[in-house]
Amino acid sequence: MTNADKLKNLLELELIPDLEAAIDELFSTIDKAKMASIAQKEDLEEMREMRTECFAIVEELGRDELSSEEVDELLAELIDMKTKE
């Protein structure tokens, strides 16, 4: 399995689903409270941006637009981020 495949799997099987679950959970919390705090709004926007970036990376991988160095750097960064959680 290439690092590009690993990166795509990490994004599609772990990070994107995790982000979508966190977004859904935050929406549920906001809905129950009938309003969102500034921090919640900022968190929601940040998670949405991260999800969009993840989808963009998956698309770039599909079009083979990323160099192997970029793939390696992204994979290392995302694995490091994931392990810090």
**pLDDT (tens digit per residue) in 2-38:** 999 999 999 999 999 999 999 999 988 888 888 888 8
Closest CA to 75 of 7, 1, 12: 7
> Could you tell me which of 8, 9, 3, 10 has the C-alpha nearest to residue 81?
10
pTM of the model: 0.87
Q: Which domain holds residue 50?
A: 3-84
Secondary structure element (H or E) that encloses residue 65, with its range: none
Q: What's residue 67's pLDDT?
A: 95
**In the predicted structure, residue 85 carries a pLDDT above the cut 80:** no
pLDDT, tens digit, for every residue of 26-78? 988 888 888 888 888 899 999 999 999 999 999 999 999 999 999 999 999 99
Q: Which helix (H) or strand (E) holds 29?
A: helix 16-33
Number of domains the chain is built from: 1
Distance CA 11, CA 8 (A): 5
